[in-house]
Structure 1
């Protein structure tokens, strides 16, 4: 019986290239070194972009966290914010049947003067400037109301509280009301009407 033979050793296997080491070693350049190695123009653009991103994020946060604004106060009704004052009536001349009343209109919040009327059939009324008339906020506006007497019967020759009917409008409402301009207006209106409707009697012949 023959003795067992030992196999001849073969060639050594090729170990190949060394394995790449993964991890946080210090072989490659660090982040700061990479940043420094970038061109200056690229670094400026990157820094600007980062700054804009921070500002945008801060703006979004501010918008998301700011309190809801309070709703604006409603515009007051035109009657509450518009005022008329009487300036005077020029006494008509003898033979005239027309006279003017001067008013001043003021609106605290802005309004439109739509219409002015009166209730006596013997009087015709017109307004200057022409209506509708915008009343600017806080700006006094002079308004001339012209009366023309077409019939004396039924007119208030001794009026106590004559009024004008006024229509006002703003963004909240349209309102009508009777504007009582006070005792001076009543006295001067009565005097103007008496001048037209009760002329002084002619002197007797030979007087």
Structure 2
């Protein structure tokens, strides 16, 4: 025999029919369970997605917090301007001078107190403390000093300073500002005038 073709069964043999396994019959309760299984699977997937997104939210990189504002004494300057002229009838124990307060910061600074180190001298300011100084704009302040006891003030002041208490969102600080040689000369002259008549 020659040729190509399908193999035919030999004598006394026959082709076998392969039957697929019968599918199990679904009972009456199969459909509700199938619906519940789908709903449970959907809820499980939703819960997993929410848990995953919650985990990603909790473990996300945190942004750097903004840097704290600088200390108020680091951004505030006090500069002496000049003495204020007084009339001839003015009390010689009282004298005034002007200063400027300048703040170089994004945060305003409040001046809560102005003082000086001599026990025989009291000072007040206009505007009265506390007052706020805006960023970048110098504020002119008039300081008025009153001699209360000549024996407790120096006649020749070397490096006089003002104690200024400053406050911003970061801290409250008292800083001593040295106002320079012109202020020292003017203060010494004012004290000599105030105490020249042996005022006690």
- 2:49 corresponds to: none
Quote the residue 1:190 is aligned against: 188
Aligned position for 2:79: 85
User: How far apart, CA to CA, are the structure 1 residues paired with 2:147 and 2:157?
Assistant: 15
Aligned length: 135
Answer yes or no: is 1:104 the counterpart of 2:100: yes
The residue correspondences of 1:1-207 to structure 2 (distance < 5 A) are 69-90=63-84, 92-94=86-88, 96=91, 97-109=93-105, 110-198=108-196
Contact 1:166 1:179 in 2 (8 A): yes
Instruction: Name the SS of the counterpart of 1:159 in structure 2.
Output: coil
The aligned residue for residue 43 of structure 1 is none
Conserved? CA contact 1:111–1:135, under 8 Å: yes
TM-score by length of 1: 0.60
Cα offsets for 1:137-196 (capped at 9, x unmatched)? 112111111011222112122101011111001000011121111111101101111122
TM-score by length of structure 2 reads 0.62
Unaligned runs of 5+ in 2: 1-56
Q: Considering only aligned residues, what root-mean-square deviation do their CA atoms show, in Å?
A: 2.0
CA distance in 2, matches of 1:147, 1:71: 45
Contact 1:124 1:147 in 2 (8 A): yes
